[in-house]
């Protein structure tokens, strides 16, 4: 099993290119199930989660090929050979549940295993089920599978989400695109990845209004066409690499990202004294000469502070001047990285959804273990500034959401390598 070896203390200097968004790509791939024509996704990230979703679609009968060194995904679903999404594939990744809405819309039935993914909370399917049932689906849970049928087809109606769930919003938009009539979704999630999903659906012939807002109106159409669609950049990868020079020192130029997706995160960086400037289309982040200021963070749905950057921010605040409080409101079990940071000398106290971080002057290297995707990269960030040599184990989590981390950081001067122990 691979591990990442990091020798701390090296300031960074260089340029990092941001890949296409994992969470956008995983929501776009099931769109192939809504059409019998070809769908081409460009600017794709090269990640194990993408390969897992490819495997899932292949099992349903889709023809999926990844070309141009992993940067382009060609999908075709002329026929669906089965509507059963098996546990052995679905358990690996939460986003597998996004085949539920498209299968119901096209085939009128679906059998989908309850999903897996990072163990960062319950993340139930109840909102997905409730909203699809409002469209006319009948869904039962049996033996760990959701058995869904639409005996009279799906019919549009007004739907208010009781929580702005990203996955439920995506499933609902996809299902509603082929439903009869109009679906008005209120309290919808409005993440950039949902905007990207709407853009692609519109390229395919869908009729959708309200992109970027919490009210989305979908006018169902009889059929959808194929399309070619460029995937937006990964805002979480961008935020992660913006933190690297702040933690390790130095200066990094970020290219290919969209700073507009990270407003609340940028605000926090500016408040703690980070220098951020623009150079043409790129962003330049300079590490501070002194310890950064402590700050309080509360994760929220977009446009609030992203939960997917909470672990990385905690790694930074471990060496801040003062006491910081992180309030995790999205997932109830997302501080599993705290014990690993404590092994490196951090002072962190976790109580429920609150983590109190008392800054220390320096972290020290230690063997640590990645507990989930974002936690894995937070260990690497912390190791960049730690004294000594840190070994980060279980980095298969990392490969689900970050491509070539060691290459991107080593190109900026970090002493980092992947090893098999």
All structural domains of the chain with their residue ranges = 2-16+233-420, 25-230
Residue 156 has pLDDT above 50, yes or no: yes
Q: Which of 114, 40, 99, 4 is nearest to 375 (CA)?
A: 4
State the Rg of the chain over Cα: 22
List the one residue out of 74, 77, 79 whose CA is nearest residue 39.
74
Domains 2-16+233-420 and 25-230 share a fold: yes
pLDDT tens-digit readout, 200-243: 999 999 999 999 999 999 999 999 999 999 999 999 999 999 99
Render pLDDT for 39-97 as a digit per residue (tens, 0 to 9). Answer: 999 999 999 999 999 999 999 999 999 999 999 999 999 999 999 999 999 988 889 99
Annotated catalytic residues are: 118
Please write the tens of the pLDDT for every residue from 345-374: 999 999 999 999 999 999 999 999 988 888
Q: What is the pTM of this model?
A: 0.95
Residue 221 CA from chain centroid, whole number: 29
What pLDDT was estimated at residue 119?
Answer: 45
Output the six-digit token pair for 50.
Answer: 């993408």
Classify the C-alpha dihedral 205-208-212-216 as positive or negative.
negative
In CATH terms, is domain 2-16+233-420 a member of 1.10.10.10? no
DSSP class of residue 308 equals G
For domain 25-230, the CATH architecture is Alpha-beta prism (3.65)
Cα–Cα distance for residue pair 254/231, rounded to 1 Å: 18
């Amino acid at each position: 099993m691979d591990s990442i070896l990091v020798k701390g203390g090296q300031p960074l200097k260089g340029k990092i290119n941001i890949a296409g968004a994992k969470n956008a790509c995983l929501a776009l791939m099931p769109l192939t199930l809504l059409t019998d024509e070809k769908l081409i996704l460009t600017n794709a990230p090269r990640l194990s989660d993408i390969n897992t979703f490819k495997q899932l679609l292949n099992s349903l009968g889709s023809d999926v090929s990844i070309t141009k060194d992993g940067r382009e995904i060609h999908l075709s679903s002329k026929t669906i050979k089965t509507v059963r999404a098996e546990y052995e594939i679905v358990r690996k990744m939460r986003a597998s549940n996004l085949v539920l809405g498209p299968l119901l819309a096209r085939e009128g039935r679906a059998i989908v295993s309850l999903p897996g993914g990072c163990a960062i909370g319950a993340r139930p399917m109840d909102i997905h089920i409730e909203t699809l049932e409002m469209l006319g689906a009948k869904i039962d849970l049996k033996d760990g599978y959701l058995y869904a049928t639409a005996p009279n087809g799906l019919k549009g109606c007004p739907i208010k989400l009781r929580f702005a769930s990203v996955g439920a919003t995506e499933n609902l938009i996809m299902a509603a695109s082929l439903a009869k009539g109009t679906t008005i979704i209120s309290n919808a999630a409005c993440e950039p990845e949902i905007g990207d999903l709407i853009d692609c659906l519109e390229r395919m012939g869908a009729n959708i209004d309200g992109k970027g807002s919490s009210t989305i109106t979908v006018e169902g159409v009889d059929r959808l066409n194929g399309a070619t669609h460029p995937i937006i950049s990964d805002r979480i990868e961008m935020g992660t690499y913006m933190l690297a020079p702040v933690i390790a020192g130095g200066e990094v130029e970020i290219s290919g990202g969209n700073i507009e997706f990270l407003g609340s995160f940028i605000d926090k960086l500016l408040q703690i004294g980070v220098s951020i400037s623009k150079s043409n289309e790129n962003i330049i982040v300079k590490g501070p000469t002194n310890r950064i200021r402590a700050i309080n963070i509360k994760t929220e749905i977009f446009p609030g502070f992203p939960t997917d950057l909470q672990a990385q921010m905690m790694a930074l605040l471990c060496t801040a001047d003062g006491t910081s409080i992180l309030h995790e409101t999205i997932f109830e079990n997302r501080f599993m990285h705290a014990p690993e940071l404590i092994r490196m000398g951090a002072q962190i106290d976790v109580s429920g959804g609150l983590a109190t971080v008392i800054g220390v002057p320096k972290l020290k290297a230690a063997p640590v273990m990645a507990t989930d995707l974002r936690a894995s990269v937070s260990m690497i960030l912390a190791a960049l500034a730690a004294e000594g040599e840190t070994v980060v184990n279980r980095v298969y989590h990392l490969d689900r959401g970050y491509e070539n981390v060691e290459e991107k950081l080593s190109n900026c001067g970090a002493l980092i390598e992947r090893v098999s122990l």
